[in-house]
Each structure stands twice: as structure tokens, then as C-alpha cells.
Amino acid sequence: MTQPRLAEQTEYGRMYARSTSEQATVPSITTVISRAAHDLGGWYGYTAAQAAVRDDRLRQALGSPAQLRAVVRDAAKAAERHRDAAAARGDRVHSYAEQIALRAMGRPHRAAEARATLAEHGEERFASRFDEWWDLYAPEPLAVEVTVWNSTVGYAGTLDLVARIAGRTCLIDYKTKGTDRDGRVKALDPKVVTQLVAGLKAEEQLVDAETGRWEPWAHGDADLLLGVAIGETEVVPVQAVPAVLEAHWYKFCALHRVWTHETALAAAGPALRPVPPPPVTAPPAPAPAAD
């Protein structure tokens, strides 16, 4: 990255600090958004079933309970492996996009190295499609991987790119996406709007991570919020519809309150404790018999 990272992974999610020498105090934008409920049970089950069916050991394992358990155990972890591989690929694609923007700004860059890394993993087509998009839309980078902070609500995050396109200032978030059966890049999740609007509502931007120097956020009046889906077959930019931005901001603030309460509950300790049975008492003495 172009500057020291202020974020760290904690038991409460990804957290940001004001400088590299300070303790992290506020959640990241993505940590807040992750408080929204989403059911991935079906995807996890399908991924595990696919992994089991494709496992070459399955035929032999049918006659061996021990081998079958090994196949099932490995299949159960298939979704995690898929998730981790997708995250690593996304990091490589983001790194390439960052280096291209740095090159366009005339700053030191490692564009060739980043592209070579993609090629080593068989992912160079992502770079080629990104280059086509860059040439077609001709963004003029204003800030790359800029860290922003909102003290009023209490969060921070890092925006992929702020650029001027056709004379309009755009906040841009890249998403590396797979390709569907028709060869089209898969659609972006609408939560990218929540992420972008949280960036728009920032109050400060980082100047120097070592000294903890910040300045007022310069792009809170950006004209467009763009999610850019980067795939192997195409790159598809989409705009956050202005009419829904206020609702997404309210949603983000509500999710932040959820994160705040969940964090407080986690710090408070166990929410339940065992209840022992009541003490055994001696039965009352029988009343004396009447004369």
C-alpha cells in the first residue's frame, strides 16, 4: 500500500486508529455493514456438495467410513477455501488498479509487478479488462486508497479511488466479480451503495499516518458514487441512484448502532448463567394430635 495501514483485525471486527502509534477505536465501514443479516447457508451447502461430488476419493471412500469422513470433512471446508481464494484474488486485482492510478498521477508505482502477479495466478484477464475500462472512461485520479474518518458517528474506511470522469468527481469502489454462464460479470450487491455513501459522509481524510495528521474531507460533495465490477470478460461500472442515498445512510447509521450494542454486550461478559435449584428445606413438623 502507499501508506501505513491504520486498520487492524480485532475481536470486534476491523478497527481503525488515528495514527500508527495509537490504539484502534472505531470500526471500519465494512465491519459496520457486516452487521446486516445475510443467509449464506444455501451457498455453503451447495459448495460443500459440489466439493464432495468432485472429490476423486469419493468412490473408494464409499466402502470405508474413515475415508468417507475425510471426504466430508474436506468438503465442509470448501466454502471457506473458496472465500479465501476469492479474497486473495480481489486483493491482487485491487493492487493492480491502485498501481495504475498511481502511475496516472505520476507517482511511484509497481504496475508491471502487480500485473505479473496476476499473470502468475492465471488472472491477467482481469488486468486486461481493467485497462480497457480505464482507457474508455479516462478517469483523472484525485486520491488513491484514501483513508477517511467520521467522528460524529464513529467509523473509518479506505476508499479505492476518487477521480474526475468527464468533469465530474466520482467516489469509486472496485469489486472483483466472477463471470456467469452467459459470460457477463456478475452484478454488484446493492450494499455497495451503503459503503459508498458512508465514504461520502466522511468528515476527515488522512494526510500522514505516522503523525496522525488529518484534514477536512475534500470530496463530501462528490457528484457520483460508482461501484465498478471487474471481471475477466468485462468491467461494468454502476452508479448509486441519488434518490436512495439518504435511505442507505440511515441504514448504515442503524447498523452502526447494532455494532455498538453488540460490542458493549460482548465486553460485558456472559449473558446467561446457570441457576442452581433452590435449597432443600426440612418438611414442617406434623401438628400434635388433638386430645
The b/e string for 67-76 (b: 16+ C-beta within 10 A; e otherwise) is ebeebeeebe
Please state, in angstroms and rounded to a whole number, the distance separating the CA atoms of residues 217 and 235. Answer: 28
Please state, in angstroms and rounded to a whole number, the distance separating the CA atoms of residues 105 and 37. Answer: 40
Domains (ranges, CATH) in the chain? 7-264 (3.90.320)
Q: What is the pLDDT along the chain (291 residues), one digit of tens a residue?
A: 444 578 898 888 999 999 999 999 999 999 999 998 665 455 455 455 555 556 556 556 555 666 666 656 665 666 666 667 888 999 999 999 999 999 999 999 999 999 999 999 999 999 999 999 999 999 999 999 999 999 999 999 999 999 999 999 999 999 999 999 999 999 999 999 999 999 999 999 999 999 999 999 999 999 999 999 999 999 999 999 999 999 999 999 999 999 999 999 999 999 999 999 998 888 887 877 766
**Residue 141, CB half-sphere, CA atoms under 13 Å: how many?**
19
Q: Name residues whose C-beta falls within 8 Å of residue 189's C-beta, 6 or more positions apart in sequence.
A: none
Strands 224-230 and 168-176, how do they pair? parallel
